[in-house]
Chains A and B, each alone.
Chain A
Amino acid sequence: MSKFLECIGVGKIYPGKTEPVEALRGIDFACGAGDFLCLLGRSGCGKSTLLQMVAGLERPTAGQIVVADRELDGPSTATSIVFQDHGLFPWMTVQKNVEFNMKARGTKAAARLAVARRFLDMTSLTAFANRYPHELSGGMRQRVGIARALTTDPKALLMDEPFGALDAQTRAKLQDELLQIWAKQRTTVLFVTHSIDEALLLADRILVFTPRPGRIAADVKVDLPRPRAPQSAEFSVLARELRGLVGADREID
């Protein structure tokens, strides 16, 4: 499988108020096209920082990131990002929100409309196209965020704890939908989460981060067939293993 993303010795140090804060150190990994990769770790372990750097929103202070065979020097057209707080524009209807990334690339209005319709349909939002974000539930808002991210036909979806703010039921539903979309679009997914169960449900491969400075503690392959059952024995074994790696903590479910 071809390499889509590669991090080589990536580190990040923030200036900090009194002294520099090292968020990430020596991050090395590669990820094939079409992989579903989870970045798992406690809050403050730098996994979100890494995602922001892969998205081109922040620059590493050491090492380099290669996306689609090009060293990153800003946001890449090959990736789209989905945020935990969805980042929808409250003054735009769902339709206009979904069209925004295409508009930013100069896509003509008619083409935008057609593509937006397709992804609104895929995320079951067609009936809400003319609503404003605040009229939607949290789960629907995040669907809009995902639909918007998909419109530019990205090679990779970068997802920063996208379901972190949702209730358990909605979260399970959206995880399921995401897997269906992933199976259909064959995009690479880089998914940040602090939930061991979520990582095990979704990923082909899990990178476990240790905090301060964030480093990759383990690179775990998940070979369980989908759909995965959290009640199954293999699942529990892996979950226990991951719990040990993450360093058990009340924050982790």
Chain B
Amino acid sequence: MQFRRVLGLLPLALLFVAWALAVEFKVYPQVLLPPPAKVAMVFIDDWETVLGNALASITRVIIGISMAFLFAVPLGLMIGRYQLLDTMTDWSIQIFRSIPPIALIPLALLFLGIGDKPAIALIFLAGTWPLLINTIFGVRNIERTLIKVARAARASEFLVMKDIILPAALPTIFTGLRLAVGGGWLTVVTAEMIAVKSGLGYMILNAQLTFRSDLIIAGIVVIGGIGLLADQAVRRVRAHVCRWQEGLTASPE
């Protein structure tokens, strides 16, 4: 099983070979395309820079996505449950979610200045829409009989929310969380290129200004690696929280 997963790295391995060959046959000057060994050296010589900036980016995403989760999930549960709220918000949500967070960078800078605040605000926005839409969708798809069972048992609205609506929507909420984490990670790198003076996005943009293409490539490798790990982490948590789904769905996803 694990071996099969590793097979998924094949395209990446081919790219690596192409890179090594391109360096070997001097297709590009070394300043532009450093050899793999030189990029690997970044993790030894400049590990503090890479680690510090990576931690800055990760922290921003965790804060921004946590805020989005705490905001969007309860709101989504309410909108999914109460038709009136849905009618009052549907079009606005559809409009907001079509605006890429990056388009809001200028506004975020004007209102929040340079620093963590605009970056976190943009990650929050990037995470809110997928979480909100998936939560609403999850609530909508509850089997009608289950709601009838609760009504016939005269369950309180609170119990219905806690014991029925939330657990029923949880699998799709996690789908939303995966999208949110992915979107948040994309957003943080972009936002850091403009709005903050730290983080992986800032690091690789800065490396371009100092002709450090080895640091750029190392930064990209780290961005990709963390993206993969974050996605796997959310999947693990989901598999654990939604254990009851095992054997219910056709595939693990």
Q: What sequence of 0s and 1s flags, for each residue 147-179 of chain B, a beta carbon within 8 Å of any chain A beta carbon?
A: 011111111100100011001101000000000
Which of B146, B151, B163, B167 lies in contact with A57, CB distance below 8 A?
B151
In the complex the two chains form, is B153's CB within 8 Å of A134's CB? Answer: no
CB distance from A79 to the nearest CB of B (A): 8
Q: What sequence of 0s and 1s flags, for each residue 124-162 of chain A, a beta carbon within 8 Å of any chain B beta carbon?
A: 000000001011000000000000000010000000000
A105-B156 Cα distance, complex, nearest whole Å = 9
Q: Which residues of B contact A (CB under 8 A)?
A: 143, 145-146, 148-156, 159, 163-164, 167-168, 170, 242, 244-245, 247-248
Binds B, one of A65-73, A82-90, A174-182: A82-90
In the complex the two chains form, is B148's CB within 8 Å of A87's CB? Answer: yes
Chain A hits for B242, CB < 8 A: 91
Q: What sequence of 0s and 1s flags, for each residue 110-133 of chain A, a beta carbon within 8 Å of any chain B beta carbon?
A: 000000000000000000000010
Top 3 nearest A-B pairs (CB, nearest first) are A104-B155, A104-B153, A87-B145
Chain B hits for A90, CB < 8 A: 244-245, 248
In the complex the two chains form, is B153's CB within 8 Å of A83's CB? Answer: no
A135-B245 Cα distance, complex, nearest whole Å = 11
In the complex the two chains form, is A83's CB within 8 Å of B149's CB? Answer: yes
A75-B149 Cα distance, complex, nearest whole Å = 10
A81-B149 Cα distance, complex, nearest whole Å = 8
Q: A85-B145, A91-B244 are in contact. Are A103 and B163 (CB under 8 A)?
A: yes
In the complex the two chains form, is A104's CB within 8 Å of B159's CB? Answer: yes
A81-B153 Cα distance, complex, nearest whole Å = 9
Chain B hits for A81, CB < 8 A: 148-149, 152
In the complex the two chains form, is A135's CB within 8 Å of B163's CB? Answer: no
In the complex the two chains form, is A105's CB within 8 Å of B149's CB? Answer: no
The reply to whether the CB of A55 lies closer than 8 angstroms to some CB of chain B is yes
**Size band of the interface chain A makes with B:** 20 to 34
A247-B233 Cα distance, complex, nearest whole Å = 61
A36-B79 Cα distance, complex, nearest whole Å = 43
CB distance from B70 to the nearest CB of A (A): 22
Determine the residue in chain A with the shortest Cβ distance to B164. Answer: A89
Interface of A is mostly: loop
Which among B152, B156, B244, B245 has the greatest number of chain A C-beta atoms within 10 A? B152
Chain B hits for A135, CB < 8 A: 247
Given contacts A92-B163, A104-B153, 16 further A-B contacts (CB under 8 A): A55-B152, A75-B151, A77-B154, A80-B152, A81-B152, A83-B145, A83-B148, A85-B145, A86-B145, A89-B149, A91-B170, A104-B155, A104-B156, A134-B244, A134-B248, A152-B153
In the complex the two chains form, is A104's CB within 8 Å of B247's CB? Answer: no
The reply to whether the CB of A195 lies closer than 8 angstroms to some CB of chain B is no
Which of B148, B150, B151, B167 lies in contact with A91, CB distance below 8 A?
B167
Q: A134-B247, A135-B247 are in contact. Are A57 and B159 (CB under 8 A)?
A: no
CB distance from B175 to the nearest CB of A (A): 16
A132-B242 Cα distance, complex, nearest whole Å = 12
Chain B hits for A57, CB < 8 A: 148, 151-152
A36-B88 Cα distance, complex, nearest whole Å = 48
- Complex interface residues of chain A between 14 and 69 (CB less than 8 A to chain B): 55-57
Which of A91, A101, A105 lies in contact with B168, CB distance below 8 A?
A91
Chain A hits for B153, CB < 8 A: 75, 100-101, 104-105, 152
